[in-house]
Structure 1
């Protein structure tokens, strides 16, 4: 039993180990034979990750498979990821030998530094594979491949390196038939193509050696250390190419000779290789006029935020099947009263900008009031809440042209919700039971398993108030016969116990769709449950104030306060900077 637990902890089942021999580091090493086996036209696509990023690696691989790209390899930073990838039949190799027993129990500075600075390994990997005679396309595991880029690369055979950038401004159309961007921002080595030319090999070798020599003491905070390494890797790469670089231009766009004029390189256009806020998701084609080849969701917060955003955009393949099987079932609701609030945010020539800003805050606060009631109903019924789209009339796209002219727009969920806190396992005695949630695209996402029977069994729940007709004051669900879909009418302002009683006949195989969610919940019977729920909800939205409206990357944050429309109002939000030390 102990052995089985250990195997499962490494992502390997007993059945898998009976079919496969024990995986050793030397069996999954990077060799020319391995690269030759997967490469096509002497080109190989590489990504890198640890077991903590397995779901991102899995999503990356599935996007490549959807494009019929098979010439890829995953560089695993730990043996645990190797075992999980082998089990999933994903081509991989171990980027470095596993730590010794002493290092495993007592991680020293060297292990911590290597974990925090994958850029050192990245440069070394590109160097190793390049010296084997292969073209290397390195892509971070949070890149979303949407089109095959190889024909595009073939347009520039005279360039040894093609690399994405952090440029946010659209340059297309400024010059005739422009295909490449100017060297006007830091280069982003999270997507880079390196051809096996002597000049490129010498440059990558120097880049890797320079990274090794500039290592600093790792930060105690792993996130800060990783961020510092990421910035240092990019700045060093950009700085080396900027040394004595020369600009040229032809009908194929900008091109340069960097590193004292010895390495010809080009900067991939932002329209096709968007990075961070330049990737507008489902609005990208509308804004830029084309579909990107590869989109990189860097600078978009934590892994939880990136994951949820990609789910909303329909760009996520679930690595864990249990995501589609919540034992309590699912519920969603139809947002109401949004039309007039949306119209108020679209006054194009409003002389007082504060009125439009205020209208947008009212729009976001109105949506937060509804989702608060929905969380309470989901809490009472033990169901997972499928979040609705969030709409805004004021979304910051920095300096991307034409972004302000197309509103209202869909706001990624992490613009209003603190996704990491919503996923975190908080102590139940203080915050009440966890409330699972899903993205608004959950029911329509590709890759849904055939066993997801809830897709064909949605039930409408209409919430009425006592003054409405017909509306019973008894906490029961009255069926409505003259409907094309199974529909029930329930009174509003029910307690948690009354809600469970009214809907107890509807099983977890049915998705409950509520209308009039604002008036559905009247409060908890237990006052202690009320306090716990309010403490939980206080952590579910961004802690911002009127003087600090940049709590997330998208830049539009209201100070959420009580909404009188809600039957069960939300407590006034206290900014973190003003809370006592004992407050969450």
Structure 2
């Protein structure tokens, strides 16, 4: 491997990667290696090779170099651990971005700067080239559409923050001046979040519109020509995963950025997996012990009838999480990885009080909500001590069995299990399958029955149940049951937030059905304001 100094960011190093005067850049540390490889693979699959990755630690630099990824050293010696939002290290990362932009722009190349927690779904360069007069084109957190085609969002109607996870810079006098001033502001005050700093400075002056019908606006110092990328196709975590705005408007999305989510880095990864756009190694798709999945079989009335309100939302979600609870227990018992079902919600989740869905958005009701709307994905994936919480239970995203990366040997090794009422015809505890290969299995079965029957199928890769409603009576061993409960109680999060009540959040409870007086209500006193464990 060449010495580290060969990886210094220089005009010559960038020049080697530039194509049509454009360079696409992201940066991160070793903790984000899988995100970075996903980001790179999407671009190279789209035929784009004019990319560079900034490595914030030597471990990442070496790993990327040996994988053939164009990399440069950012010399910031960041820790290789995950960077929590809002931590001092996070703010340091924020400074790196502006320092990078300020360093690259004077080289004279157009810069498409990206966060690592986003992926490209379509080549954006022809789109960006449609606006040659723009100094800066930025994405935004806008959730209400301002256009219904693929034009730039209407700047007068974008009230949300400009999002610096995806933005394109041309090396003009105005943009170079903006980068320098933004950098100076951030370096002078380490309390300012880089995105807030960018928004403050760019909006210092906003208007008038740039001459011509191009959707650009004069901003910053009155000379900078700014355009706002349409949130329907340069998607946030809300316009893509909650509203599916691009689908409803029949548009092709260019990018998705995992914002508007609630479970840290694990939640971001899980959302990209749900969308089948995250690249996992082959062993992810063929776990030892195999997989367990089930059809949630939700009554139509719970999904569609009546008003969409707190009560109907919680009735729907509670019905599903009770089945997921049984499925987690059976997965634990059979030592299989649980493929989560798609989760239906009637209400959106946000950080602030709202009427259920945001006015003016395209959120459908009901909708398939991301797992992190209800479950603490980061807790589900955490290594919890076994003596206190029992054995770990692996999970996969709801789209897992539809993923083209699922190998043939997994797809072809499948058993359908139909739950039936003990004593009815052909419903007995036996491992005989029907001529069509379906196993009829009694509901309300105990641990012994599960172990006895399913030991015959331990080499089958996927076991799919027709439902989990009343499938399992619980663990025989009280200690095991206690540890399991201790574990899975922590798996669910909160819904947020009701209007005109502080606090406004409501805790989900995986064992809601054991509490006759359970109601979907926010805590009334500080003593009540804690998860149900």
Residue of 494, 499, 505 corresponding to 2:456 = 505
Tell me if structure 1 keeps the 8 A contact 2:294–2:341: yes
Matched, 1:521 2:477: no
- The reply on whether 1:181 has 2:143 as its aligned counterpart is no
The aligned counterpart of 2:84 is none
Q: Does 1:442 align with 2:395?
A: no
Is 2:161 the partner of 1:161?
A: no
User: Which TM-score applies when normalising by structure 1?
Assistant: 0.80
Structure 1 residues 501 and 573, CA gap change in structure 2 (3 angstroms)? farther
8 Å Cα contact 2:140/2:160 also seen in 1: yes
- Deviation for aligned residue 1:516: 3.4
Runs ≥4 residues deviating over 6 A: 545-551, 572-577, 579-583
Kindly report which structure 2 residues correspond to 1:296-335, keeping only aligned pairs within 5 A, or say none. 296-301=257-262, 302-318=264-280, 320-335=281-296
Residue of structure 2 in register with 1:563 after alignment: 513
- For residues 121-140 of structure 1, what are the structure 2 equivalents within 5 Å? 121-140=96-115
Checking the alignment, whether the CA contact within 8 Å between 2:298 and 2:320 is kept in structure 1 is: no
Change (3 A) 1:142 1:544: closer
Residues 272, 291 of structure 1: 8 Å contact kept:
yes
**Shift in alpha-carbon separation, 1:187–1:215, aligned structure 2, 3 A:** same
Equivalence for 2:409: 453
Q: Matches of 2:19 and 2:139 in 1, distance apart?
A: 23
1:83 alignment partner in structure 2: 62
**Does residue 255 of structure 1 match 2:216?**
yes
- 1:395·1:556 contact (CA, 8 Å) conserved in 2? no
Q: Which runs of 5+ in 1 are unaligned?
A: 1-20, 106-111, 217-228
How far did residue 545 of structure 1 move? 9.3
Preserved contact between residue 261 and residue 373 of structure 2 (Cα < 8 Å): no
Task: Write out aligned runs for 1:50-199 (5 A).
Answer: 50-96=29-75, 98=77, 113=88, 116-172=91-147, 179-182=152-155, 184-199=159-174
SS, match of residue 456 in structure 2: coil
Give the length in aligned residue pairs.
513
Aligned to 1:15: none
Q: Give the Cα–Cα distance (whole angstroms) in 2 for the partners of residues 548 and 282 of structure 1.
A: 21
In the TM superposition, 1:341-420 aligns within 5 A as: 341-344=302-305, 347=306, 356-395=309-348, 398-399=357-358, 401=360, 403-404=362-363, 406-420=364-378
Deviation (angstroms), 1:520: 2.3
The CA distance in 1 between the partners of 2:399 and 2:378, in whole Å, is 19
Question: Are 2:421 and 1:479 aligned?
Answer: no
The CA RMSD measured in Å over matched residues stands at 3.3
TM-score (ref. length: structure 2): 0.87
**Cα separation, 2, equivalents of 1:240 and 1:424:** 40
Match of 2:194 among 233, 239, 247: 233
5+ residue gaps, structure 2, are 81-86, 350-355
Assess if the C-alpha contact under 8 Å between 1:161 and 1:195 holds in 2.
Answer: yes
Q: Deviations over 1:166-203 (max 9, x none)?
A: 22221116xx9953431533221111111112222122
- Alignment match of 1:468 (pick from 421, 424, 428): 424
Which whole-Å CA distance do the structure 1 matches of 2:382 and 2:395 have between them? 12
Instruction: Quote the offset at 1:78 in angstroms.
Output: 0.7
Q: Deviations over 1:388-423 (max 9, x none)?
A: 11112333685363525x332111111221111100
Deviation at 1:97, TM superposition (A): 5.4
Q: Does 1:493 align with 2:444?
A: yes
What's the offset of the Cα at 1:73?
Answer: 0.6
Distance 1:533 1:297, change over 3 A: same
Question: Offset of 1:304 from its aligned partner?
Answer: 1.0
* Contact kept? 1:247, 1:255, Cα under 8 Å: no
Task: State the alpha-carbon separation in 2 of the partners of residues 373 and 548 from structure 1.
Answer: 33
